């Protein structure tokens, strides 16, 4: 026969029919002989019955529509983000290409000779950017 | 929706909103009640349930038809519920000795003198909800998943990433905790 403490640890799983059949029948046999464990089993079953007394809540009638609307809004947002990303990548690539073309075609000196920010040709994008930064920080 | 669920989820992954609505309508009751019993607050439960469905829509592409859809859905819900508590965004209802005594007196009084059984039941449910909410979060999650959503100990262990014996112990301790708090009503 199992010790009561060991049986009581398994009582919840016994009530829930979650024990393997041999263990289940061992506990069943023990309960037939032990008043104390039977009492414990009864009180756990009562707790189970009490839990059944909590009534179900119903969702508001607009619940499903709201969920669908939120999903639709997210979907739109996702498309916009995707397109924005594509356009941003394309724009940055074009900028790099324009700078590269201007440098290789000799419209202004190659950047490898640059030593500081003042060396950027003023008509290049980098030169314009640095000029703007200076204007702002004045 | 067991057999059709992978087809529906495939449609959801492609952004099909009517397939998504089908899923929402099928699971809204169980999910809302799970969150409600977990939080004890209907407004918070609706927020959580909405967030779960939005996550389902966002991550539909990641859904593996090998796992049961319900298990996957409730795993998302469980993670959200646990995170909500950790972020302290939810007010946690803890049982108050004064509350319990006062409500206990009312319950006993109505038992003897008043025919309003419905009121009594409502009071008892409120006390029970408070007791449920005062349980440690993992015990509560395991008990709710088993008791109200019919998940087996094995499924719960997968959802909570722990062993079956840990689930067994969590559920047992949850019932013990409730028994202790609800002893005046047993």
- Interface contact B25, partner A, CB < 8 A: yes
Q: d(Cα B97, Cα B104) in Å, to the nearest integer?
A: 10
- Find the residue in A nearest to B14 (Cα): A75
- Interface contact B7, partner A, CB < 8 A: no
Of A44, A54, A64, the CB nearest to B37: A54
Fold designation for B109-185 = Arc Repressor Mutant, subunit A (1.10.10)
> Regarding predicted confidence, which is higher, B55 or A2?
B55
Per-residue buried b or exposed e for B46-85, using 16+ beta carbons within 10 Å of the residue's own CB? bbbbbbbbbebbeebeebeeeeebbebbbbbbbebbbebe
> What's the CATH architecture for B5-86?
Orthogonal Bundle (1.10)
B100 pLDDT higher than 80: no
As annotated, the residues of chain B forming the CATH 1.10.1740.10 domain(s) are: 5-86
Rg (chain B; Cα; Å): 19
Pick the residue of B175, B177, B179, B182 with the most A CBs within 10 A to test the interface with A by mutation.
B175
List, as one string, the DSSP characters of B23-87. HHHHHHHHHHHHHHHHHS-HHHHHHHHHHHHHHHHHTGGG--TTS-HHHHHHHHHHHHHHHHHHT
Q: d(Cα A10, Cα B75) in Å, to the nearest integer?
A: 26
Residue A115 burial by Cβ neighbours in a 10 Å radius (0-12, 13-18, 19+):
exposed
Tell me the mean pLDDT in the region A79-97. 83
Q: pTM of the entire structure?
A: 0.71
- For residue A100, count other CB atoms closer than 10 A to its CB: 11
B115 pLDDT higher than 70: no
Of B37, B49, B171, the CB nearest to A12: B171
As annotated, the residues of chain B forming the CATH 1.10.10.10 domain(s) are: 109-185
Q: What residues does each domain of chain A span? A: 4-52, 65-107, 108-138
- Interface contact A69, partner B, CB < 8 A: no
Asked if A70's CB is within 8 angstroms of B29's CB, the reply is: no
Smallest CA–CA distance, residue A93 to chain B, in Å, is 30
- Interface contact B182, partner A, CB < 8 A: yes
- Find the residue in B nearest to A13 (Cα): B168
Q: d(Cα B69, Cα B9) in Å, to the nearest integer?
A: 9
Q: d(Cα B22, Cα B31) in Å, to the nearest integer?
A: 14
Asked if A54's CB is within 8 angstroms of B129's CB, the reply is: yes
The dihedral built from the CA positions of residue A106, A110, A113 and A114, taken in this order, carries a sign that is: positive
B110 pLDDT higher than 60: no
- Interface contact A17, partner B, CB < 8 A: no
- How many CB contacts within 8 angstroms connect chain A with chain B? 104
- Find the residue in A nearest to B181 (Cα): A47
Look at residue A65 and give its three-state secondary structure: helix
The tens digit of pLDDT for each residue in B42-85 reads 888 999 999 999 999 999 988 888 778 899 999 999 988 888 76
Tell me the mean pLDDT in the region A47-55. 87
């Amino acid at each position: 026969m199992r010790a009561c403490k060991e049986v009581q640890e398994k009582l919840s799983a016994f009530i829930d029919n979650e024990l393997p059949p041999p263990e289940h029948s061992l506990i069943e046999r023990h309960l037939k002989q032990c008043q104390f464990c039977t009492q414990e089993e009864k009180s756990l079953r009562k707790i189970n019955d009490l839990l059944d007394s909590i009534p179900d809540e119903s969702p508001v009638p607009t619940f499903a529509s709201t969920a669908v609307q939120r999903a639709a809004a997210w979907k739109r947002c996702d498309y916009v983000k995707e397109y924005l990303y594509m356009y941003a990548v394309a724009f940055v690539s074009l900028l790099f290409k324009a700078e590269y073309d201007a440098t290789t075609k000799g419209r202004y000196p190659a950047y490898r000779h640059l030593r500081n920010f003042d060396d950027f040709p003023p008509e290049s994008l980098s030169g314009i950017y640095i000029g703007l930064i200076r204007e702002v920080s004045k | 929706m067991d057999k059709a669920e992978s087809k529906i989820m495939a449609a959801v992954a492609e952004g099909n909103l009517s397939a998504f609505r089908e899923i929402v309508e099928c699971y809204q009751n169980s999910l809302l009640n799970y969150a409600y019993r977990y939080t004890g607050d209907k407004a918070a439960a609706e927020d959580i349930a909405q967030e779960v469905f939005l996550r389902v829509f966002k991550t539909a592409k990641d859904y593996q038809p090998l796992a049961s859809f319900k298990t996957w859905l409730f795993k998302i819900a469980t993670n959200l519920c646990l995170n909500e508590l950790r972020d302290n965004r939810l007010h946690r209802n803890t049982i108050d000795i004064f509350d319990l005594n006062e409500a206990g007196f009312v319950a006993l009084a109505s038992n003897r003198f008043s025919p309003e059984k419905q009121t009594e039941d409502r009071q008892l449910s409120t006390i029970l909800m408070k007791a449920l909410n005062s349980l440690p979060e993992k015990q509560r999650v395991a008990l709710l998943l088993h008791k109200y959503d019919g998940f087996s100990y094995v499924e719960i262990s997968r959802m909570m990433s722990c062993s079956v014996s840990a689930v067994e112990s969590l559920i047992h301790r949850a019932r013990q905790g409730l028994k202790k708090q609800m002893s005046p009503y047993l």
